Structure 1
């Protein structure tokens, strides 16, 4: 048996929208049908998939070859000084 489909009036949706969204997010309901005067006017469905967070989304996909320190500046000149607020000279 699948998840239930919840049908609510526009008035009820307005009063309970946050808890209805929680039900969708937590996969307690398959979808929410919002009605006006007994006729469906909207359907809310949970997203088909959740996106992985951007940070760490592709672990192991980059390899640093050689003896490089990625925390060091990439240039030696004094083009800018961030501590002094100088972004270019």
Structure 2
């Protein structure tokens, strides 16, 4: 079963945006098309919840071995490009 597509004008969207977002979130509508002067200017779709969030998607999948400091500079003798005034290579 396909969810309905709701088409609203910009003015109507401004007045009803919170309830329209609720409809998207609760999967009562499949898409909201916002129009200006009868022409579509935006489409809103619910997020795809089947994908894991990008941040924290694989917690515990990597470990730092030993006492390696991830915040330590990678090189102490080299001058980095920015320090030397080099903008592009």
TM-score normalised by the chain length of structure 2 = 0.56
1:29-44, aligned counterparts within 5 Å? 29-44=29-44
Q: Which residue of 2 is the match for residue 13 of structure 1?
A: 13
Q: What does 1:32-71 align with in structure 2 at a 5 Å threshold?
A: 32-49=32-49, 51=52
Structure 2: gaps spanning 5 or more residues: 62-89
Tell which structure's C-alpha radius of gyration is larger.
1
Deviations, residues 16-65 of structure 1 (Å, cap 9, x unaligned): 0000000000000000000000000000000111647x89x86xx79xxx
In 2, Cα distance between equivalents of 1:2 and 1:43? 17
- In the superposition, the TM-score normalised over structure 1's length comes to 0.56
Secondary structure, in 3 states, of the residue corresponding to 1:41? strand
- What secondary structure, in the 3-state scheme, does the structure 2 residue paired with 1:33 have? strand
Following TM superposition, where does structure 1 have runs of at least 4 consecutive aligned residues deviating by more than 2 angstroms? none
Instruction: Give the deviation of 1:3 after TM superposition.
Output: 0.5
Q: Aligned pairs, how many? A: 58
